Structure 1
Amino acid sequence: MSAALPARNGINAQLGTYLGLGVVLVGMIALFSSLSQYFFTTDTFVAIVNEIPALAVMAVGMTFVLMIAGIDLSVGSVLALSAALSAMAILQWGWSTPAAALVGLASGTLCGLLLGSVSVAWRLPSFIVSLGMLEVVRGGAYLVTGSRTQYVGDRIAGLAAPWIGGVSVSFVLAVVLVIVGQLVLTRTVFGRSVVGIGTNEEAMRLAGVDPRPVRIIVFALTGLLAGLAGLMQAARLEAADPNAGQGMELRVIAAVVIGGTSLMGGRGSVINTFIGVLIIAVLEAGLAQVGASEPSKRIITGCVIVVAVIVDTLRQRRADRG
């Protein structure tokens, strides 16, 4: 009976988080629908869902990174480099589209692998290592493209092609990855190791689990997903821009934090992260439709992030007291 109570409380807390995020999302949709007659339309919602696949895919990886109490600031640059290498493989090297896509995915995975390996081997904060990686990888994107946008046309446009009701293949793939990510986090030994490392790394080490390979795999996975996001964005724009993804790491982290993943590690949900992505997307689309200026949009979005962090902190303190 006593063992069942914590489990039941955990389920109730999770359902409460789902409900809270859902209320916020519905409330924002209702607010912007009242402010703009054009917001609550099929075209607006299709545009929103087709805009978010790259953000959603990277947010899946970032959820795992934050769960181990790490952070990766390089994902926006990895997105740009992966797209750039895929474009150059098609345009300059004459490779087939599948081979070029594999180059992009492999480059993203390698970036994440290097980041994780350096951070683990030298026991350096991932914040610092990823900050350096951000600059290195962005420079690589400029070198590969000659600092020019590479137009690939419709050669990789299949990912962005409309499928059901105008929704793109990329969005469907992003939803599948969200579901897979949630199952990995909650139903596998690897997922339990991620949670355990974020909660108490020393306890995991004493239990016979080496945190180092788990950490490296998490960063490599995040790099892989950033590479996939690069392909998605290049498919949507039909071009690889070396400036792509600048500042996107902040949007990714914001979506994950809004979704309730703790910055201290050990607690989070990929499903909640996806709802956080939707909240960010609806907020940005709604502000654009009501005519908010770019400075105003940044101020409002920043305030939302700060409020989300405050709520997360209060919730964590309440849990610690309980």
Structure 2
Amino acid sequence: MQSSTQTLRNQSTGKPTGGKLGGAMGTYIGLLGTLAAMIALFGTLSQYFLTMDTFVTIANDIPALAVMAVGMTFVLVIAGIDLSVGSVMALGGAVTAIALQQWQWGVWPAALLGLVVGLVCGLINGVVSVGWRLPSFIVSLGMLEIARGSAYIATDSRTQYIGTTVEWLSAPIAGSISPAFILAVLVVIAGQIILTRTVFGRYMIGIGTNEEAMRLAGVDPRPVKIAVFALIGVLAAVAGLMQTSRLEAADPNMGVGIELQVIAAVVIGGTSLMGGRGSVINTFFGVLIIAVLEAGLAQVGASEPTKRIITGCVIVAAVVLDMYRERRRARKG
């Protein structure tokens, strides 16, 4: 009992136990190696891949995915899942666009309204799944339909064009990276600090590792779990604002299927589907791997069905690798 309690304490405080430090270093090396290998492969297959234009395009393509992946990392760390992020992203963007275009609101009030909508969706997911002890998979699946349907109703199932009102968020600075990319990097850094350097982060890891042990230690897991779902709702709305800025419009079909990419990026980054283990920095590497894969396949002329097949294989491989890591971790424990 003392040994398991000490292990949980070390996990909740972010201190390495046993071979965890070496395991973390191995994950970093593995992710960097995979990313480098993919860049080298596509650089060989396409003469246009190893150019500054390609890397700038990739950087400006990933902000929405990266921001949502930070929130999904937190959700998976507490042993939950959120399938509604794509729909909440579309609903947040739709509400922002309507406030700008139809109600003639200013940019900041409209953006704030979109964030509030995302917050409400996240809170509903958290309160229902935690309060009624329902699987977050089912609850968020319901929210996926609710938010998507709400986006269709709000936009009358039509794309809402807003012009250049918020174009500045996704417009490259001096022909290079966009403010959205800078914001995404700041969110990643903040997420890593929260997960590894704050009490809230320690609670998340502890809850994902052994929720009952945290409860017996005097920590109520319910507010923490609800806060995590609320946070991913807000981040999904931020992603919706980024995508709306990039398209100069709010499309009610925006983000369809993106939840799979988000989960794939997080799992590729080494976050456990079983909870209790994760890294936001590693998740960002996972986002880069997904983005490089998509850009490389597009440049070598892969058809859309082929790209979907390859991406699906990568997702399955990431899940299999996660299960292998969990089994090896259980044997060592």
If the TM-score is normalised by the length of the shorter chain, which range does it land in? over 0.9
| Aligned counterparts of 2:253 and 2:175: Cα–Cα separation in 1 | 31
Q: Does structure 1 residue 179 correspond to structure 2 residue 189?
A: yes
Residue 314 of structure 1: how far off its partner (Å)? 1.1
Q: Deviations over 1:217-266 (max 9, x none)?
A: 00000000000000000001100000000001111001001111110000
Alignment of 1:145-294 (within 5 A): 145-163=155-173, 166-294=176-304
Unaligned ranges ≥5, structure 2: 1-5
Q: Which runs of 4+ in 1 moved over 6 A?
A: 2-5
| CA RMSD between the two structures | 1.5
Match of 1:23 in 2: 33
Q: Which runs of 5+ in 1 are unaligned?
A: none
Question: What displacement does 1:10 show?
Answer: 2.2
1:182-230, Cα deviation, whole Å (9 max, x unpaired): 0000000000000000000000000000010001000000000000000
- Give the equivalent residue in structure 2 for 1:65: 75
Q: How far off its partner does 1:11 sit?
A: 2.1
Query: What is aligned with 2:320?
Result: 310
Q: TM-score, normalised by structure 2?
A: 0.94
- Cα distance in 1, alignment partners of residues 223 and 31 from structure 2: 33
CA distance in 2, matches of 1:162, 1:198: 39
Q: 2:109 aligns with which of 95, 99, 104?
A: 99
- Determine the structure 1 residue equivalent to 2:3: none
Distance 2:79 2:19 in 1: 24
- Corresponding residue for 2:100? 90
Q: Does 1:297 align with 2:307?
A: yes
Q: Distance in 2 between matches of 1:104 and 1:88?
A: 10
User: Partners of 2:124 and 2:318 in 1: how far apart?
Assistant: 31
Alpha-carbon distance in 1 for matches of 2:276, 2:319 = 15
Asked if 1:75 corresponds to 2:106, the answer is: no
Letter of the 1:255 counterpart: A
Corresponding residue pairs, total: 321
Measured against aligned partners, the alpha-carbon deviations of 1:103-156 in whole angstroms (never above 9, x if no partner) come to 011100110001100111111000000001000110100111111000111101
Which of 3, 11, 22 is residue 12 of structure 1 equivalent to? 22
Q: Secondary structure at the match of 2:173?
A: strand
Tell me the distance in 2 between the aligned counterparts of 1:256 and 1:309.
10
Aligned sequence identity (%): 69
2:122 maps to amino acid: G
TM (norm. structure 1) is 0.97
2:120 matched to 1:110? yes
